[in-house]
């Protein structure tokens, strides 16, 4: 199975340099939609309901301290680990979300139940490490 770094590397290869904020959201939507379409995760790593939207901690720690990132900045990940079906899922997500600004992706994820439910009643600015479950992603995005 691929990991979040393989997906991130593929996204950066396809899209080029971007903010780490945007990379996190594109990985999140890739996971959410792939799980919705196939009922299997794209990767095992989880996203947490952080202040600025869904964040995969493992990916965060790999790019921590950087605002912008490109394929060469990410020292881990191998996009050849992705199957053609997985790449197709990611490509569809990139078509839909790739042209959007990071702030717009943040606002969208904040308006959706997977992030909102994982945070519960916490203030939007409070630190949160609650996991956004893959099941909650599949349930919500599958209803659209």
In contact, 45 and 77? CB cutoff 8 Å = no
- Cβ–Cβ < 8 Å for 81, 6: yes
The number of domains in the chain is 1
Give the E-state strand segments of 65-136 in sequence order. Answer: 68-69, 131-132
Judged by DSSP in three states, 28 sits in: helix
Say what the pLDDT of residue 144 is: 86
Q: Residue 142, Cβ neighbours under 10 Å: how many?
A: 13
Looking at residue 124, its pLDDT comes to: 81
Whether the model pTM is above 0.85: yes
Range of the domain at 77: 4-142
**Three-state SS for 49?**
strand
Q: What is the largest CA-CA distance in the chain?
A: 41
Tokens of 95: 């078509």
User: What does the DSSP 8-state code read for residue 103?
Assistant: H
The SS3 assignment for 85 reads helix
Report residues of the chain scoring pLDDT below 50: none
């Amino acid at each position: 199975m691929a990991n979040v770094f393989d997906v991130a590397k593929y996204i950066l290869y396809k899209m080029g340099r971007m903010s780490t904020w945007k990379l996190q959201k594109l990985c999140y939507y890739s996971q959410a939609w792939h799980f919705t379409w196939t009922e299997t995760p794209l990767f095992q790593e989880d996203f947490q309901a952080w202040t600025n939207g869904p964040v995969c901690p493992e990916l965060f720690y790999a790019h921590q301290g950087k605002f912008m990132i490109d394929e060469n900045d990410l020292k881990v990940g191998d996009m050849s680990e992705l199957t053609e079906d997985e790449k197709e899922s990611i490509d569809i997500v990139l078509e839909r979300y790739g042209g959007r600004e990071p702030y717009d992706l943040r606002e969208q994820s904040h308006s959706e139940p997977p992030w909102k439910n994982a945070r519960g009643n916490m203030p939007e600015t409070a630190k949160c490490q609650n996991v956004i479950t893959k099941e909650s992603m599949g349930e919500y995005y599958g209803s659209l």
